[in-house]
Amino acid sequence: MEKKKTLTSFIILDLKKELSNGNKSALNNFWDKIERFGTPLIEPIEGDENHKLVTFIVQANNDTTNAVVVCSLANQDDVLSNNICERIENTDIFYKSFVVLNGTRTIYSISKNNSLKFNRFYDNLMDNWDTLSPDQYNPKRFTQRYRREGQLFVVEYSVLEMPDAVPLKWVKPKKNVIPGNMERMDFRSNLLNAKRKIWIYTPNNIDSYDKPFHLLIVFDGKPFIDFTLTPQILDNLHAEEKIPPSIAIFIHNYSGYSRGRDLLCQPQFADFIVKELLPWAHEKYIISSDPAHSVLVGSSSGGLAASYIGFKHPELFRNILSQSGFYQWYPGNPWFQYSLQFYGDDYVRWWSKEDEKEEEWLTKQYLRNEKLDLKFYLNVGNLETRAIKSIQNFHKMLQKKGYTHFYKEFPGGHEYVAWQSYLPEGLIYLIGSQ
């Protein structure tokens, strides 16, 4: 097989040439241009109109021994060998180049003096979070919070936006749009034997509507509020009448191992939604009882949960909005088996030994059963090296069974910045005003 050619930035090549020729002002001139025009460098690739060469630039400090671009542009199972920057000898410049598809929107961070301890993307991120910083020459930012072993920390990322990235017209605030209302409460669940935080979004001037509302149930509620900016998206979609007036209930799902207790095809959690939360919502608000007016929304494990609850209860929920769904999950998944120790004695282990051998378990359940009255919006990023195959398989299953659905492979990664970009499209497809 022909070895893939490594591309180098023309700007970097010119700089190296100037330095080798003894041009003492070349380095200062380079940084002057960086300050004026910003980073990363985006250059055309000869003979390739669909991609650009993106080069990240890191300015070294006196004590900088290495630099890593923490991003999804390379194989997420081998972040170190793919993301370590090269240093231009006798300069303060580290750089790293990637061939990137037009339309990509993704986040990245710079790690100086990375521990180089873990290869995998998330493990490396967790081990080096205190070394991370945004790109000082890129003003576009995206902030996320993480929780690890009870400790909360914040990472301020930079955003790479390639030519033709989908416009964020439904995400940005608009002066003439009056925001809806958000209410937070602790919801007591007897089935889960716990209080669960929920947030309820209602459209502005709720009393003026004379028809029942559509209903969205959103998993991983806090991140969908803070990072995906769902309430703001709903405000804008309502204002331009792209979707009918909708109430959204955002459910808190714990982070880390405990998150799987709810979202990984758990009958207890499905019963909580159907037997406790849904009746309460219908009692408190004027919500349509038509399943075609309800949407289950989730990303990653939340996308799996939306598809599972729809599978169990198509009489209540017709629409499934699944972004980067965790369809590779099955009861025998080693990570899941390890996490069971954190779930407590009241967790119901419902599966059989045969189920533990069945990879992509939910996809197989759909295949074996009669087609249900469900409608799907399904997407996955082209950079999701560990998730894309199983999501493609779920899509093929929907095709084979004849489900009404929309499938997209977007240019991006397993990230809220991407899910934010495509959530409006999913809502319009599923419940958009005709």
Q: What percent of the chain has pLDDT over 90?
A: 81
Do residues 236 and 371 share a domain? Answer: yes
Q: What rounded mean pLDDT belongs to the chain?
A: 93
How does pLDDT run across 218-273, given as a tens digit for each residue?
999 999 999 999 999 999 999 999 999 999 999 998 776 778 899 999 999 999 99
Do residues 275 and 335 share a domain? Answer: yes
- Provide the domain count of the chain: 2
Instruction: Give the pLDDT of residue 152.
Output: 77
Do residues 153 and 207 share a domain? Answer: no
CB distance 218 to 250 below 8 Å:
yes
CA-wise closest residue to 422 among 283, 303, 331, 254: 303
pLDDT(105) > 50: yes
pLDDT(383) > 80: yes
Separation between Cα atoms, residue 50 and residue 345, nearest integer Å = 53
Angle separating helix axes 301-312 and 361-368, nearest 10 degrees: 20
Rounded mean pLDDT of 289-308?
A: 98
Instruction: Give the pLDDT of residue 80.
Output: 72
Angle separating helix axes 230-239 and 416-431, nearest 10 degrees: 40
Do residues 210 and 357 share a domain? Answer: yes
Q: What is the CATH number of the domain that holds 420?
A: 3.40.50.1820
Dihedrals φ, ψ of 57, to 5°? -120, 130
CA-wise closest residue to 105 among 167, 154, 171: 167
How does pLDDT run across 53-81, given as a tens digit for each residue?
999 999 999 899 999 999 989 766 666 77
**123 lies in a domain?**
yes
How does pLDDT run across 180-195, given as a tens digit for each residue?
999 999 999 999 988 9
Do residues 64 and 203 share a domain? Answer: no
pLDDT(282) > 50: yes
How does pLDDT run across 125-184, given as a tens digit for each residue?
788 888 999 999 999 999 988 776 567 788 899 999 999 999 999 999 899 999 999 999
Omega of the bond prior to 40 within 30 degrees of 0, cis?
A: yes
CA-wise closest residue to 409 among 389, 386, 382: 382
Q: What is the CATH number of the domain that holds 64?
A: 2.60.40.10
Show Cβ contacts of residue 212 under 8 Å, excluding neighbours closer than 6 positions. Answer: 286, 287, 288, 289, 293
Do residues 95 and 216 share a domain? Answer: no
Do residues 202 and 138 share a domain? Answer: no
**242 lies in a domain?**
yes
Domain that holds residue 270: 181-431
**171 lies in a domain?**
no
Instruction: Give the pLDDT of residue 150.
Output: 64
Do residues 294 and 384 share a domain? Answer: yes
Do residues 151 and 274 share a domain? Answer: no
**189 lies in a domain?**
yes
**168 lies in a domain?**
no
Separation between Cα atoms, residue 267 and residue 348, nearest integer Å = 8
Do residues 218 and 356 share a domain? Answer: yes
**300 lies in a domain?**
yes
Do residues 127 and 276 share a domain? Answer: no
pLDDT(44) > 70: yes
Instruction: Give the pLDDT of residue 7.
Output: 83
Instruction: Give the pLDDT of residue 121.
Output: 74
Separation between Cα atoms, residue 238 and residue 232, nearest integer Å = 10
Dihedrals φ, ψ of 293, to 5°? -105, 10
Do residues 114 and 214 share a domain? Answer: no
Local structure of 151: helix, strand or coil: strand
> Among 102, 128, 161, where does a domain finish?
161
**199 lies in a domain?**
yes
